[in-house]
A = this chain, B = another copy of it.
Amino acid sequence: MKNIYAIGVGLIGGSLAIDIKKNNPDVVIHGISRKDATLETALSLSLIDKKATLDDLGNADLVIVSIPVDATVKLLPTILDKISDKGLVVDAGSTKVDICKVVENHSKRRNFLAMHPIAGTEHSGPTAAIKGLFVGKTNIVCEVEKTTFKLQEKALKLFSDIGMRIRYMNPADHDKHIAYVSHLSHISAFMLGKTVIEKGKNERDIFDMAGSGFASTVRLAKSSPEMWAPIFKQNRTNVIETLEEYISNLTKFKELMKDENFEAIFDEMKSTNHIKDILNGIN
């Protein structure tokens, strides 16, 4: 593997480039982005070795697509059109159904591997890229059987080498489950932020009182809308379902408050406390 093309050189694409380059110093990382300024930043941070365009993809051993999921759906067929028979394309999108669907009948489907490396921060862009982001994290691989075995093997080694554990899942299950543990968390944080900001408009004291608990719970509300609006759009049905369940649980809690049933409120919290065990090992 000599020539890797990173389409998107932000938090995910940039962080992948750092770790892959560290493990494979001879590899040349070519960066592709809509904006030249982004590429210049990525170059200056040494995330990439060279700037490139989509027309160079024939030269690629590996193409890593880490752009908003709506852009991935639009661009993926063109990317596959342009790569050689030995080239592999992987994506890092937070949704998998629409992305897999758009290439299901593509003549180069076997040159594509659908992935979701579950790692990140609330920051975005090339300056958000950090080394070691993927160590100990999970990489969900979808429809692995649809990818040429040799290309699968190559990609899985690359991602294992940067510290990821691989899990296999079909796209529908991926999108359904990730709605709960990732997409809902983002909406919960965004709406918590909104609620407090609305109240705080005329009451600056509120923010003086914000402690580490609030900061942690609302952290994801700093995330990029450019990245997240398309995710919610593609995973609309699942996200609506999680929102309905979340709102229903909050409403029940509110009703218990109104009824002054604090024993039941105690029990609600007690029975959720074992989230401790579930979270063990996640940081």
Contacts and interface: CB of A to CB of B under 8 A. Distances in A.
A275 B186 CA distance: 14
A193 B235 CA distance: 21
Contact of A240 (B121, B211, B223, B257): B257
A37 interface: no
B198 A283 contact: no
Given A210-B279, A211-B182, A221 B177 contact: no
Contact of A283 (B118, B173, B215): B215
A169 interface: yes
B210 A181 contact: yes
Contacts of A173: 205
A189 interface: yes
User: Which of A173, A268, A275 has the largest count of B CB atoms less than 10 A from its CB?
Assistant: A275
Contact of A216 (B119, B167, B220): B220
A195 B245 contact: yes
B197 A272 contact: yes
Contacts of A138: 208-209, 211
A250 B247 contact: yes
- How many copies of the shown chain assemble into the complex? 2
Given A249-B194, A250-B187, A222 B181 contact: no
A5 B209 CA distance: 27
A140 B195 CA distance: 22
Interface stretch (A13-21, A58-66, A104-112, A226-234): A226-234
Contacts of A206: 177, 180-181
Given A169-B205, A185-B217, A222-B275, 20 more contacts: A118-B209, A137-B211, A138-B211, A167-B205, A167-B208, A167-B209, A177-B206, A180-B196, A180-B206, A181-B210, A185-B213, A189-B217, A190-B269, A193-B275, A195-B245, A195-B246, A210-B278, A213-B219, A243-B257, A244-B254
23 contacts: A118-B210, A120-B212, A120-B213, A138-B208, A138-B209, A169-B205, A173-B205, A180-B200, A180-B206, A181-B214, A184-B195, A185-B214, A195-B249, A197-B272, A197-B275, A199-B245, A214-B282, A216-B219, A219-B279, A222-B273, A222-B276, A225-B267, A229-B265
Interface of A: 118-122, 137-138, 140, 167, 169, 173-174, 177-178, 180-182, 184-200, 203, 205-223, 225-226, 228-230, 232-233, 236, 239-240, 242-247, 249-251, 253-254, 257-258, 260, 262, 265-276, 278-279, 282-283
